[in-house]
Amino acid sequence: MSTPAELLSAAQIAARVDELATEIIKDHVPFQAAPKEDAAPLLLVSILRGAFVFTADLIRALKTQGLDAEVDFLGLSSYGDATTSSGRVRLTRDLDTDVKSREVLIIEDILDSGRTLNFVKTLLVSRGAKSVQTCALLDKPSRRKVAVEAEFVGFSVPDAFVVGYGMDVAGLGRGLPYIGTMPEDDSD
């Protein structure tokens, strides 16, 4: 894999994650201010594998700012080893947590075609979630195929293949502390 060109620095990402935590808390003040004794905490559903680093940083930022959330993971695939989506979303790992009557916040690395987010929202609603909102680190509105938007968005980015901060190309690059762009024909 060649070295990706930096699109978003580690410092930019960290600052925006803190801002997103503030936005999420502000939106969930009624939920936090008057929780019922038997009410479950906000459930973050992290979409594997790309969103795991973002989710880890976000849940820490939420806790630092006063919102204690629960987290679970949902594995989905629509890319495989390719740099473009296959158009089909496949469930590869299901949740361990029952979402029935829960307030859920889906954590996604990239909102591009909208197929994955639409799939997850439909799935969680069908399972009885009380409410389902979404937080995407990156948004590529130019690639949208399904009319779906995230309530919370980190950055709007151009139509380029990105890697780093948990996102990969054929399994590589997840450990980069920044988000970079890959040349379209990069097959190394």
- CA angle, residues 50, 52, 58, in degrees to nearest 5: 120
Spatial CA neighbour of 50 closest among 145, 166, 139: 166
Q: DSSP assignment of 57-79, as one string? A: HHHHHHHHTT---EEEEEEEES-
Q: How many CB atoms lie within 10 A of CB 132?
A: 21
Spatial CA neighbour of 103 closest among 48, 25, 47, 51: 25
Band (pLDDT 50/70/90 cuts) for residue 42 is very high
Answer with the residue of higher pLDDT: 55 or 84.
Answer: 55
Encode pLDDT of 67-123 as tens digits. 999 999 999 887 555 455 557 888 999 999 999 999 999 999 999 999 999 999 999
Q: Do the bridges between strand 43-48 and strand 70-77 make them parallel or antiparallel, or are there none, so unpaired?
A: parallel
Query: Options 3.40.50.2020, 3.40.630.30, 3.50.50.60, 3.40.50.920; which CATH number does 5-30+40-76+91-182 get?
Result: 3.40.50.2020
Q: Which residues are catalytic?
A: 112
Query: For the chain, what are the domain ranges?
Result: 5-30+40-76+91-182
What are the residues facing 135 on neighbouring strands?
107, 152
